[in-house]
Structure 1
């Protein structure tokens, strides 16, 4: 017959419950911190627009036709130059889009051109090097700038 000593008996129910509670608290903290906040969502939109601007610049050069971007507080659209004038693009990548959160202000502060009727556009031309461009997205105290240096590269940065 075997005898079990106290050293080999295992964990008590209370010890297992304490470990479960601690694990639950840690997991809930990770889940709360993993969900994007308002600043993160606006920065994500800025980064998405920066990538779309890079694609639009490449498409304008490869297709030998200008592409323009227009945006407002609720969303944006891309236009392509045709013999009939500017026409909205319908391809998947350049289809009209919406911001994840509505913006208080969307302003082209550098490199914009008037499209008439008070509408300003960023125009991506056929040239390899273009002028600098800067777009500012504002929602409350959050400000995200999407800047292009003219070489076809764009960067989104958040300002506190």
Structure 2
């Protein structure tokens, strides 16, 4: 009687192949998601940074006693300190006081938008002024890069919220 030897298995089993394909798929998805940055992410980072800078500007205006104005255009935004206004000092403030534009200030220095070209709409006022008042008016700042919009809301308690 001759005994047959079982055939030697060569290659991989179906389960082993499926496990390898699954690992490759998960790794590819992770790399793809890490490499892909949503276009609105830069706009969100700009909004988050502005909330922090608005809080710093408000604190600086309260401590220094001089209003700070936030200005923005499509390429950049900046803060500048405004001289306090009173009838007695109005002429001197306009003619003699140099405008402090925070060029050397690490926090409030002028910055370019991370999202590229950004359109800004401030409501309900025409310009955004931080002053020494402890109760602030509600505020809405809308940022748009042409495809995405994000808003910054401030309530009367001075609390900010970024809404996408």
Please indicate the TM-score interval, normalised by the length of the shorter structure.
Answer: 0.7 to 0.9
Equivalenced residue count is: 141
Q: Say what the alpha-carbon RMSD is for the aligned residues.
A: 2.6
1:22 CA displacement? 2.7
1:132 CA displacement? 1.6
Deviates more, 1:12-21 or 1:103-112: 12-21
| CA distance in 2 between partners of 1:16 and 1:100 (Å) | 46
SS in 2 for 1:79: strand
1:130 CA displacement? 1.7
- 1:129 counterpart (112, 128, 135): 135
Q: Deviations over 1:31-72 (max 9, x none)?
A: 322443112221221111112111211121122221111011
- 1:86 counterpart (99, 103, 109): 99
- 1:145 counterpart (132, 143, 151): 151
1:30 CA displacement? 2.1
User: Taking structure 1 as the reference length, what is the TM-score of the superposition?
Assistant: 0.74
Alignment of structure 1 residues 93-112 onto 2, 5 Å: 93-112=107-126
Q: Deviations over 1:5-33 (max 9, x none)?
A: xxxxxx95997675444323212212322
1:95 CA displacement? 0.9
1:147 CA displacement? 1.5
1:30 aligns with 2:43: no
| CA distance in 2 between partners of 1:108 and 1:148 (Å) | 11
Gaps of 5+ in 1: 1-10, 113-120
**Matching residue of 1:156:** 162
Q: Is the CA contact (8 Å cut-off) linking 2:73 and 2:118 kept in structure 1?
A: no
SS in 1 for 2:23: helix
Q: Which has the higher strand share?
A: 1
